[in-house]
Amino acid sequence: MIDPLSLASSALAAAKAFAPAPAAVGDAKARARAAAEDFESVFLGTMFSQMFTDTEGEGPMGAGAGTGIWRSFLTDEYAKSFARAGGIGLADHVARALIAEQEARGR
């Protein structure tokens, strides 16, 4: 019979052996920048969804029952595209704040 505890212990030991090395400083800055862009994308998505709340659908496919769902997908994609293209500058400020906080904590 297989002992589940020993099986779990050996799996944990194997996972630790293949664990990635701690991230480099440049990698931490890249992750902070990516997180800041994601934050800006969510912020812009909220703004865009508010802009489109009172708009009516037009044309043969614009006023159906699923319009709200598809509109939310569209506004999310608008926000992601806008943030990737430079956005409104929010990601720059958030990234600087994240990096400053990491450096202050010595990470």
pLDDT in tens, 74-92: 888 999 999 888 889 999 9
Half-sphere exposure (Cβ direction) of 52: Cα atoms closer than 13 Å = 21
* Residue 6, domain member (yes or no): no
* Residue 58, domain member (yes or no): yes
Do the beta carbons of residue 35 and residue 98 sit within 8 Å?
yes
* pTM beyond cutoff 0.75: no
pLDDT band at 12 (very low <50, low <70, confident <90, very high): very low
* Residue 28, domain member (yes or no): yes
Number of domains in the chain: 1
pLDDT band at 19 (very low <50, low <70, confident <90, very high): very low
* Residue 8, domain member (yes or no): no
Q: What pLDDT digit, counting tens, does each position of 25-72 carry?
A: 678 889 999 999 999 999 999 998 888 877 766 655 566 667 777 888
Domain range spanning residue 81?
A: 23-104
Do the beta carbons of residue 49 and residue 74 sit within 8 Å?
no
> What per-residue confidence (pLDDT) applies to 3?
54
CA angle, residues 24, 28, 30, in degrees to nearest 5 = 115
Do the beta carbons of residue 67 and residue 59 sit within 8 Å?
no
pLDDT band at 98 (very low <50, low <70, confident <90, very high): very high
